[in-house]
Amino acid sequence: MEHVNRFIIQCGEAANRDELRVCLLSSSLSGSAFTWFISLPPNSVITWADLEKQFYKYFFSGVHEKKITDLVRLKQRNDELVESFVQRLRDVKNKCYSLVLDDRQLADLAF
């Protein structure tokens, strides 16, 4: 919630225009928030209200932040495709909000 409020303040006059807020938000995001934003399905966000609702649902849904131990515990299931395992790994990593790992480090962790 703090990020959204800071963003609106930084937008100044642009914050009065719904479509500009939607377009400008991506430049204020980093890490897991940016990864979440670029993973949104096309046309799933039309208005600022849509974006706010999805942002809060994803980041403040009552799901606790994941830790590196959650990543370490992940194992590929016998019947699981590599692509599915990698996606599951990335999903957990994206919920490790304070953990900074690049793709190489994440791959090393997976192996």
Domain ranges of the chain: 2-59, 68-110
Write down how long the chain is. Answer: 111
**Predicted pLDDT of residue 90:** 83
Band (pLDDT 50/70/90 cuts) for residue 7 is: confident
In this prediction the pTM is 0.50
Could you read off the pLDDT of 9-35 as tens digits, one per residue? 888 877 788 888 888 888 888 877 888
Helix (H) or strand (E) holding 84: helix 82-94
Which one, of 88, 89, 83, 80, lies nearest residue 108 by Cα? 89
Residue carrying the six token digits 């938000």: 25
* Sign of CA pseudo-dihedral 66, 81, 57, 52: positive
Q: Give the pair of three-digit tokens for residue 10.
A: 């930084």
Q: Would you say 99 and 91 are in contact if contact means Cβ atoms under 8 Å apart? A: no
Please enumerate in sequence order all residues whose Cβ is within 8 A of that of 65, keeping only pairs 6 or more positions apart, or say none: 95, 96, 97, 98
Q: Residue written as tokens 């949104």?
A: 40
Instruction: Tell me what pLDDT residue 37 has.
Output: 87
Q: pLDDT of 48-101, one tens digit each?
A: 888 888 888 777 765 567 888 888 898 999 999 999 998 888 888 877 877 777
Tell me which amino acid residue 61 is. Answer: S
